[in-house]
Chain A
């Protein structure tokens, strides 16, 4: 089963393949095309793994310490999970609504502050805040889509882009007004270092990465195994077609944006113990999240997780290979290479 929800049609493969994705029950004739695609996907996956292995060996030679390299891989994978987490909602909205949601980072910041508020005022456990944050963010997403974006759906891409950019500024400066500019922190009770193969990792980071896996799994199940998911994928593939078979696309748009924003909420709560909470914290995630989304293939939730891991590893191992530079240097070298060789993303299909 292909995890992607985005990209109108698989031009790379035979046309029936795209029909097979749009509607869940697919049979016989398309099986051949599908196994070719599966093979290609595995091949690509293999190339990525080989590239990572090469980078690791070079880092080992360069730093001369096994522990340092192990640490960089462990940290890279855990941070990669966080990046994937931050990018998941973004990629979903991208794939289904065709909106580049610039406000995603500030939604994440909003969730950070709600979490902070619940923990500091309400005294709840940071992870328990999910129970409040996720529904609140879902509601916020639905409101934003209904109130602001729905009217702009038929307008050019630039309009939507400017709207979300404006939203980002409103949220960011609203937080500044409400909470002030002081950096804040949320501590996870009982957080401690966990030894991993000679390296160490904070429990909070391991849990955040695990949360990313769980969220990716849930989204995957939602998209592939439920009626709603089928409808969402149908709208992503062909909005007019979906409308013709009786799917209320406006409602799907509302729900998808809500789910995307709820993902930002879940990400915000899970990363709250790891970051310094400021109104501008979300902006930090924005750039990386965009890179992850493009790398993973737009609209591809599992791709976002894998893209996140690739970026996390690139950043950490790259810092060993290219000391003295911004971690974003290695990230963008990889990004440009991927865009050049596979413009549709590592795990996306051609548009």
Chain B
């Protein structure tokens, strides 16, 4: 009996720990000597990413990306307008936990970081953004797509990647364009989405735009990306509904389950179409699922492999770290360069001057986008627009819009049987 109670308590506790987190950020640190550089002292940039925990793969890539950017800038002579001052990256592990991200952000700022980049998980970013605002230190968000982060009226938070609403809206448009061009316009779409804020926001934006374009949406099925063991039943629901396309908004582990279930159940759709999907456009996705993932489409912000400078970075990354670079790492690379260029233009390492330079400036990007990074009043990047990718012959290829095309889209792309 006692054992039962303790065990139940343990279960409840571990669930509770996973669920909670995120209290109010503590007060600002003293800012007597903000941005005062003595000669030869490096300018510190804080990098907050999940280096351990379930998102460690992306987190470590992003930390690597940020380090490569700092190295490149220092090798090219540092910040010229500040007497060639060098940059120094202060790395921190958020563990993917909001409260850890918050305290680490506070720590990096007290250690003299003049700007922050990060963090990957929206819940963590929300807390870090609050700390940055409180301390008047600019935060350049590389990855995190929850719309709500920038709806707080913050002046010190900027986001490089598109938010969930932009992803969902463009997803519906691209699906409409590509399917119509192939002569098999999608008329009915079923949705799988992870049940967190990201999946819900993408679902809502996608549904609104799809309905505007005359596409019927349903059934809509949500799941818990952390614990869902299998998606066969859900795939059978899609099959029973007899729809044209299956839209999926989720992460890597569940993306693998989607591919396996599609291969087993054969839902009879024209395409499996990801929107902001964290799995379908990763370099190792085709390797992990084999032929099951062939033809999968995904609308996402993506490193522009038609840009020679991106390919150069990808090669450097491969040589240094022995694996393929992911878009998340390219975004971290871009985020550091945003801060570096803004420092150059501000001619000062004062965080407030840096913030103003970021808000005013235009910054080159290695990600597929219609223009340079440049921020709106609310901190969103006005040129953050996703593109469409497809798994073709075991490789992720850019297929739409035409200006970023590495290969023509294949449509219909019915999931292969075994």
Chain A positions near chain B (C-beta within 8 angstroms): 63, 65, 67-68, 71-72, 75-76, 79, 82, 94, 98, 100, 102, 157, 161, 173, 176, 180-185, 187, 191-193, 199-202, 205, 274, 276, 278-280, 284, 286-288, 290-291, 293-294, 298, 315-316, 319-320, 323-328, 335, 339, 343-345, 350-351
Contact with A along B228-249 (1 / 0, CB 8 A): 1110111011011000000000
Pairwise interchain contact B264-A157, C-beta atoms closer than 8 A: no
Tally B residues with Cβ within 8 Å of A: 51
Least distance between B146 CB and chain A CB atoms (Å): 19
Question: Which residue in B232, B284, B288 is a CB contact (below 8 Å) of A71?
Answer: B232
Instruction: Contacts A200-B264, A327-B224 given; indicate if A182 touches B57 (C-beta within 8 A).
Output: yes
Known: A100-B6, A278-B253, A339-B4. 12 other contacts (CB 8 A): A71-B236, A94-B3, A176-B56, A191-B418, A201-B232, A202-B264, A294-B11, A319-B234, A328-B15, A328-B224, A339-B8, A351-B1
Least distance between A11 CB and chain B CB atoms (Å): 10
A191 to B417, CA, bound (A): 12
Question: Which residue in A67, A100, A323, A350 is a CB contact (below 8 Å) of B236?
Answer: A67
A202 to B323, CA, bound (A): 31
Please name all residues of chain A whose beta carbon is closer than 8 Å to the beta carbon of B5 when the two chains form the complex.
343
Pairwise interchain contact B53-A280, C-beta atoms closer than 8 A: yes
Please name all residues of chain B whose beta carbon is closer than 8 Å to the beta carbon of A280 when the two chains form the complex.
53-54
Chain B positions near chain A (C-beta within 8 angstroms): 1-8, 10-11, 14-15, 52-54, 56-57, 59-60, 195, 221-224, 226-230, 232-234, 236-237, 239-240, 252-253, 256, 260, 263-266, 284, 287-290, 323, 418
A94 to B10, CA, bound (A): 14
Pairwise interchain contact A200-B224, C-beta atoms closer than 8 A: no
- Kindly report which residue of chain A lies nearest to residue B200, judged by CB atoms: A324
Question: Which residue in A72, A200, A315, A350 is a CB contact (below 8 Å) of B265?
Answer: A200
Pairwise interchain contact B233-A326, C-beta atoms closer than 8 A: no
Pairwise interchain contact A343-B4, C-beta atoms closer than 8 A: yes
Pairwise interchain contact B233-A183, C-beta atoms closer than 8 A: no
Least distance between A211 CB and chain B CB atoms (Å): 16
- Kindly report which residue of chain B lies nearest to residue A98, judged by CB atoms: B3
A75 to B11, CA, bound (A): 25
A252 to B295, CA, bound (A): 55
- Kindly report which residue of chain A lies nearest to residue B50, judged by CB atoms: A181
Pairwise interchain contact A287-B2, C-beta atoms closer than 8 A: no
Pairwise interchain contact A328-B227, C-beta atoms closer than 8 A: yes
Please name all residues of chain A whose beta carbon is closer than 8 Å to the beta carbon of B60 when the two chains form the complex.
180-181
Please name all residues of chain A whose beta carbon is closer than 8 Å to the beta carbon of B53 when the two chains form the complex.
280
Question: Which residue in A286, A343, A344 is a CB contact (below 8 Å) of B14?
Answer: A286
Pairwise interchain contact B10-A323, C-beta atoms closer than 8 A: no
Pairwise interchain contact B11-A291, C-beta atoms closer than 8 A: yes
Least distance between A199 CB and chain B CB atoms (Å): 7
Instruction: Contacts A67-B236, A278-B54 given; indicate if A327 touches B289 (C-beta within 8 A).
Output: no
- Kindly report which residue of chain B lies nearest to residue A72, judged by CB atoms: B233
Please name all residues of chain A whose beta carbon is closer than 8 Å to the beta carbon of B418 when the two chains form the complex.
191-193
Interface pairs (9), CB distance under 8 Å? A63-B237, A65-B240, A72-B233, A76-B233, A94-B7, A205-B230, A274-B229, A280-B54, A328-B227
Least distance between B409 CB and chain A CB atoms (Å): 26
Please name all residues of chain B whose beta carbon is closer than 8 Å to the beta carbon of A183 when the two chains form the complex.
57, 252-253, 256, 284, 288
A290 to B227, CA, bound (A): 14
Pairwise interchain contact B236-A68, C-beta atoms closer than 8 A: yes
Least distance between B1 CB and chain A CB atoms (Å): 4
Least distance between A69 CB and chain B CB atoms (Å): 9
A325 to B234, CA, bound (A): 13
- Kindly report which residue of chain A lies nearest to residue B237, judged by CB atoms: A68
For the complex of A and B, the 9 pairs showing the least CB-CB separation, nearest first, are A181-B56, A326-B224, A181-B57, A71-B236, A193-B264, A72-B233, A351-B1, A65-B240, A185-B288
- Kindly report which residue of chain B lies nearest to residue A290, judged by CB atoms: B11
Question: Which residue in A82, A192, A319, A351 is a CB contact (below 8 Å) of B4?
Answer: A351
A169 to B201, CA, bound (A): 34
- Kindly report which residue of chain B lies nearest to residue A94, judged by CB atoms: B3
Pairwise interchain contact A200-B232, C-beta atoms closer than 8 A: yes
Interface centre among A157, A176, A181, A344 (most CB of B within 10 A): A181
Please name all residues of chain A whose beta carbon is closer than 8 Å to the beta carbon of B230 when the two chains form the complex.
75, 79, 205, 274
Please name all residues of chain B whose beta carbon is closer than 8 Å to the beta carbon of A193 when the two chains form the complex.
263-266, 418
Please name all residues of chain A whose beta carbon is closer than 8 Å to the beta carbon of B195 when the two chains form the complex.
324-326
Pairwise interchain contact A276-B256, C-beta atoms closer than 8 A: yes
Please name all residues of chain B whose beta carbon is closer than 8 Å to the beta carbon of A157 when the two chains form the complex.
6
Please name all residues of chain B whose beta carbon is closer than 8 Å to the beta carbon of A335 when the two chains form the complex.
11
Please name all residues of chain A whose beta carbon is closer than 8 Å to the beta carbon of B239 when the two chains form the complex.
67
Instruction: Contacts A100-B6, A183-B57 given; indicate if A320 touches B233 (C-beta within 8 A).
Output: yes
- Kindly report which residue of chain A lies nearest to residue B323, judged by CB atoms: A182
Least distance between B197 CB and chain A CB atoms (Å): 14
Pairwise interchain contact B4-A294, C-beta atoms closer than 8 A: yes
Question: Which residue in A76, A286, A323 is a CB contact (below 8 Å) of B221?
Answer: A323
Question: Which residue in A316, A350, A351 is a CB contact (below 8 Å) of B2?
Answer: A351
